[in-house]
Structure 1
Amino acid sequence: MATPLNQTTIKKENKQLVLHYIRKHEPVSRARIAQMTGLNKGTISTLVAELIEEELLTEIGTGKSSGGRKPVLLQVNKHAGYSIGIDIGVQHILGTLTDLGSNQLVTERKPLKETSFFYVVNEVLSMIRYLTRHIPESAYGLIGIGVGVPAIVSIHGEIIHAPNLKWRHVDLKKELRKCNVPIWIDNEANYGALGQHLTEQTTKIDTTLYISAGIGIGAGLLLNGELYKGTHGFAGEVGHMTMDVNGPICRCGNYGCWELFASEQALLSYTGSEQTLEELITLARNGDAATLDAFRNVATYLGKGIVSLIHIFSPDQIIIGNRLAMASDFLYEEMNKTISSRLVTDQQHTPISFSTLHNDATALGATSFSIDQFFQDDTAHKKARST
């Protein structure tokens, strides 16, 4: 006979199973849930009733009948709570507010005048306050905040080193605890990969390598929709793989890193200007020869690095996001030419595309991670409802 503790545990696991299935396949009927999860209809009815009472699920009408009564369809109550995602860049912060279905309600971008740690913390807190003011009345309110940082981040959320921000061993989570909601810190490319996974570009793909190409370069690897982060959480620091052992010194302390040749900062160094990426794109569209040469240089080195990543990971597809995705028209052809000429494996047809999300992927992925954690933590529901 099962002990009360075991019964409680089993019920909690079954409840998670039902909620996970509905989130993935909504709208769906109780009968379909029972069929696909293997739980009996009585158990499904009890668990669904609890989830509706907790305002996590809602009934949205009826589906097609297969002979009897039309089934009542269920879906997640997307307006039960809201999540905030923050993308900290070198030159800006971007924040977005979403509902529990990852639908963006408000997105705000703010330039950074400097990158000192406490200045950025204050700007992030200001962004959070601004987005919080736009949260509608709901059962759970703000359920969590995810923050993406261009940094080496441990599995515990500690920022070990952010070369382009000049941060070392800083506790961003501690500084944001005054928000009184769960705080999740990760590398911006990891959150970018999750944000990309929400789009049609990745939902049916088993292995996706997302390359975040901005001032620096990072990568997030999705295996069957799950992030691969490595033993200590440091996987994906591809921007610091060596492209030229005798190359210039990188902010990380090494020499000849990939991001020195294939990033937004590389583009600026090739042009020798202080113009913005947007201004350089305009010049390229107007046929400026020097600017077009700079883009070709970036594209060539971007291709060289991607060849190595294909040889290492052999992904189903590669998506390039962050700010350089805005310049895809001036990168794609030269990048693909380089890749095709250098691959030594039979992977010439690995699909490579540029993100349609451009700058929003990291903030969107940060909100989705926070939402996932909320749905997986039954105590979070009870705590949020009691406050």
Structure 2
Amino acid sequence: MTKKYTWNQYTIKNVNKSLVLETILNQSPISRADIANETQLNKGTVSSQVTELLGEGLIYEKGPGESKGGRRPVMLLFNEKAGYSIGVDIGVNYILGIRTDLVGNICEEVTTYFNDLSFEYIRVKLFQVIDQLIQSAPQSEYGIVGIGIGVPGAVNKEGKILLAPNLGWENIDIKGMIHQRYECPVIVENEANAGVYGEKTFGSGRWEKDIIYVSVGVGIGVGLILNGELYRGTDGFSGELGHMTVEGRGHRCRCGNQGCWELYASEQALTSSSQISWKDYVDPLTNMIEKAEKGDEDAIDTFHSIGTYLGIGLTNIINSFNPERVIIGNRITAAQRWIEQPMMGKTKHNALWFQQDSLKIHFSEFNSHSSALGMAAFTFENFLKVNIHEYTSLV
């Protein structure tokens, strides 16, 4: 039996406003008449919704536009400066925070590095980053519309961090802590999921339905867009492919297993194959890059090894998911010069030939910013309520 839904006037009004706002957001500058044509709403409804949106400061008028006969129409544009979103990527030895406008343009960024992994220490650093981004924000209609936090670990659907092994965190309610301090909507997500969403929203993955984003920092996380949707798995824990086994008798990982991919293909390989210690340098990746740039053969060999192991893991991912695009992101992109060739060579040699026909593999154009951009996008979309998804229940 077909269900019959009854919509009250308030619901219809909000659905129409969302439709009008989304049309302006995606197609501005646009006239009222063109909005009516695009949405199939009558002109009176469009006019009333536009009036409300103008009063709310989410759109503004600019004109007149080009005439199609008769008077030249007043054009409407989305007010991207009506508010600002904060996106934060918490790494194992850094915090990157950005403030964007309501369409994802980065207005300011702050990065801090550390080698003390205690939660209390990182909490203080996180507050400092967010405080700086908020205090330097210009006046706007809505101010800071929300804060998004990406973390390298398993996050449940309520935004609680169940396990972040490389940080040593378990059962951390960072969402409640941030909300209590700043009194605004907060979204917490796995940083690789945020990264693939950033690539899908702003990057080279905009036109494709099956995208794999591999976030390579001190650990490895994998974000998946499958059939156009972010795939989280049954409980939200998909993408922990940094802990797939690539060496049966390999080193012991912080997760408790042996031979995990990230031990050999992430920044962790820099410490296990050299004399560098995380306690000696806040940023051993930069130190190793400086050595490689000077022709240090050990440093170059280490990066070649990382590239080879990246290729091994990518082969497993490609053969499993048959994606259209694989994007390598996060801090390891700084070493692309030495990593790319061995990675691509291994992948080309090992991945099934019929998987490679329409496959594109490349490093992110955003370098280490994909996750922060993805968190900012989750946050301002939640504010605008244009794309309806489960995050609307997290405010």
Aligned to 1:324: 332
TM-score in terms of structure 1 length? 0.92
SS of residue in 1 equivalent to 2:354 = coil
Q: Which of 96, 104, 109 is the aligned partner of 2:111?
A: 109
Q: 1:333 to 1:68 in 2, by over 3 A?
A: farther
Q: CA deviation at 1:17?
A: 1.8
359-368 or 58-67, larger mean C-alpha shift: 58-67
Q: Which amino acid aligns with 1:352?
A: I
Q: 1:51 to 1:269 in 2, by over 3 A?
A: same
Aligned to 1:299: 307
Aligned to 1:314: 322
185-194 or 53-62, larger mean C-alpha shift: 53-62
Q: Which of 62, 79, 82 is the aligned partner of 1:60?
A: 62
Q: Which amino acid aligns with 2:134?
A: T
Aligned to 2:244: 241
RMSD: 2.1
Q: How does 1:5-16 map to 2 (within 5 A)?
A: 6-16=8-18
Q: Which amino acid aligns with 2:185?
A: P
Q: Which of 122, 125, 129 is the aligned partner of 2:124?
A: 122
SS of residue in 1 equivalent to 2:81 = coil
Q: Which of 330, 334, 347 is the aligned partner of 2:342?
A: 334
Aligned to 1:196: 199
199-208 or 230-239, larger mean C-alpha shift: 199-208
Q: Tell me the alpha carbon deviations over residues 57-91 of structure 1, each in whole angstroms, 9 at most, x when there is no partner.
A: 11233443333433333222111111111111111
Q: C-alpha distance in 2, partners of 1:159/1:202?
A: 27
Count of matched residue positions in the alignment of Structure 1 and Structure 2: 377
TM-score in terms of structure 2 length? 0.90
Q: Tell me the alpha carbon deviations over residues 290-320 of structure 1, each in whole angstroms, 9 at most, x when there is no partner.
A: 1111111111110111111111211111111
Q: Which of 375, 378, 384 is the aligned partner of 2:384?
A: 375
Q: Which of 157, 160, 167 is the aligned partner of 2:159?
A: 157
Q: Do structure 1's residue 184 and structure 2's residue 187 form an aligned pair?
A: yes
Aligned to 1:355: 364
Conserved 8 A contact 1:85-1:367? yes
Q: C-alpha distance in 2, partners of 1:34/1:317?
A: 36
SS of residue in 2 equivalent to 1:346 = helix
33-42 or 205-214, larger mean C-alpha shift: 33-42
Q: Do structure 1's residue 84 and structure 2's residue 92 form an aligned pair?
A: no
Q: CA deviation at 1:197?
A: 2.9
SS of residue in 2 equivalent to 1:331 = helix
Q: Which amino acid aligns with 1:283?
A: K
Q: Which amino acid aligns with 2:267?
A: E
Q: 1:29 to 1:245 in 2, by over 3 A?
A: farther
Q: Tell me the alpha carbon deviations over residues 168-193 of structure 1, each in whole angstroms, 9 at most, x when there is no partner.
A: 11111121122100111011111122
SS of residue in 1 equivalent to 2:8 = helix
Conserved 8 A contact 1:195-1:362? yes
Aligned to 2:168: 166
Q: Do structure 1's residue 261 and structure 2's residue 264 form an aligned pair?
A: yes
Q: Do structure 1's residue 73 and structure 2's residue 75 form an aligned pair?
A: yes
Conserved 8 A contact 1:121-1:175? no
Q: Tell me the alpha carbon deviations over residues 333-370 of structure 1, each in whole angstroms, 9 at most, x when there is no partner.
A: 11111011111241224111111212222222211110
Q: Do structure 1's residue 281 and structure 2's residue 289 form an aligned pair?
A: yes
Aligned to 1:383: none
Q: CA deviation at 1:225?
A: 5.3
Q: Tell me the alpha carbon deviations over residues 196-239 of structure 1, each in whole angstroms, 9 at most, x when there is no partner.
A: 23434222222221110000000112246542212211111111
Conserved 8 A contact 1:247-1:255? yes
Gaps of 5+ in 2: 388-395
Gaps of 5+ in 1: 379-387
Q: 1:63 to 1:377 in 2, by over 3 A?
A: closer
Q: 1:44 to 1:241 in 2, by over 3 A?
A: same
Q: C-alpha distance in 2, partners of 1:214/1:62?
A: 50
